[in-house]
Structure 1
Amino acid sequence: MAPMTPKEQDWNERLEREVYQRTLALQDSLKRLEALNSMRAQFVAIMSHELRTPATALIGYADTLKEKWAKLPEKKIQKYLDVISEESSRMVTLMQEIFEISRILEGKLSLQFQTADLIPLIGSAVKEFRLRYADKSFGFKETADSLEAKVDTLYFKSALTHVLLNAVKYTPDKGNILLFVESKGGEAVIRIEDDGPGIPREYREKAFEPFFRSMDNVNRKTPGAGLGLTIARGVIEAFKGRVVVADKLTGKQGCAVVISIPLAGGSS
């Protein structure tokens, strides 16, 4: 067999490189597909459980009211109606989270970017949470007059709300949730600290995986599907930012979630 010419050898090497790169790409696609299928199976199982619980409560209390309305005292009727309202709201929230996480995983977030000062947006969220959760103490400290960043303001508020809800969920009554906001290294840095049980270091990155709820994942004491931090990270990363779990700066027990978003113009 005649030896290859330099040109043929070059073509052969290029072909080998292309085959190698395509093989790597196929292997990567296969891994992602396997992960997606696994996530989908987990998603269906957990959603089935999470939706079944409020649905069962709704049906049970509705049937009781239907059959015994005339015999039930007014206070009990009101109690049952309150439960139906609460469980209905829980189902609506869960469905909204499912739609949000689906859009994030599929890369289909429809963002309307604008340059906005984040401090008033954060202050507004804190005010709302103080009204909604009077059994918790919310502190808010900012060290900058303004923090302008290019974000979708509605999605930014949604991401912050998910982080705050996570803090509320795990913080005991009369516990503290503290927000520290500063400009650092060309970024707006928002630190949310709570008095909950905390997240061990080995679970900190897993905390952003869909359905993950640290050690509580086993006994499922805390309601919810564990999608909040996943949604928050997906949104903030769409702003070219980051969300991580870090050590607290205040107190001993608890968790700190730190959001970093590039400032408009990259000023520090």
Structure 2
Amino acid sequence: MKKLAIGVSTLNDGILNLLNLRDKIPEIFEVIICHQIDNGINYDVNLGSVIYYKCFQKGLSKSRNELLKIASNNDIDYLIISDDDVTFLVDSLNELNDYVQNINTDENIWFRSVDDAMVLRKKYPVKEGVIDWKLFFSVASIELCLNVKAISKNRLFFDESFGLGTDIPSGEEPIFISDCSNNGIKTKYLPINISIHPIESSGSDMYESVDSFSDRLLVFCRMFGKFKGFLLYVVFCGKNFRKVNFSFLILIRKTFFKYRVLNDFI
């Protein structure tokens, strides 16, 4: 029988949101918590029968990688990625477990998430199936159930140059899914509502901030290489520039700067 776990990233006082988490998760799921601490406080908390790990390095991608490593060391087959403000629909977790038990290929699973009003957080595909790169950017890490053993076998990890807590606070999800795909681990969309989470995400201000918008150049080039990545960025700018709240000249300047530092990220 395949073993599943929920891996939760939390920072500082966020651990206080997880005191009763174990009681809300079916017993067939292990619970792993990576608690990042950067405020000097020594937290003494009773979390019940969970795997608890303290981390004193920053970055959300660092936390995700620690969760993957702990899951691998504990012989977990599939890991649901989560944060300290996410809750779960128990019946849907059991449905996901039933589905995973019958998987015989190396695949990750992308499931649906709803907001507090039980409304889908965004537009999802209509049908179940393997997704291509055009949908990689639609996937949030808290909507992923990862094939731990296939990922560990291929020595894959979240790129720690991207994600919250770094200079490039988004993009780690599509990069990771792309790396998986390039190593034969596909991501399959499964139309099941599993988690509950507010609408906000680290990429939600992309059209307000020239930094966030131009960061897409670094993400594209990290995924596809300099030439193809730059071409895709040009197409991206052409399709989305009317949505932004900054001038074309400012975007050109920022793009030129980002292109000069590309080698630090690819």
TM range (shorter): under 0.3
What TM-score do the two structures reach when normalised by structure 2? 0.26
What TM-score do the two structures reach when normalised by structure 1? 0.26
Larger Rg: 1
More strand by share: 2
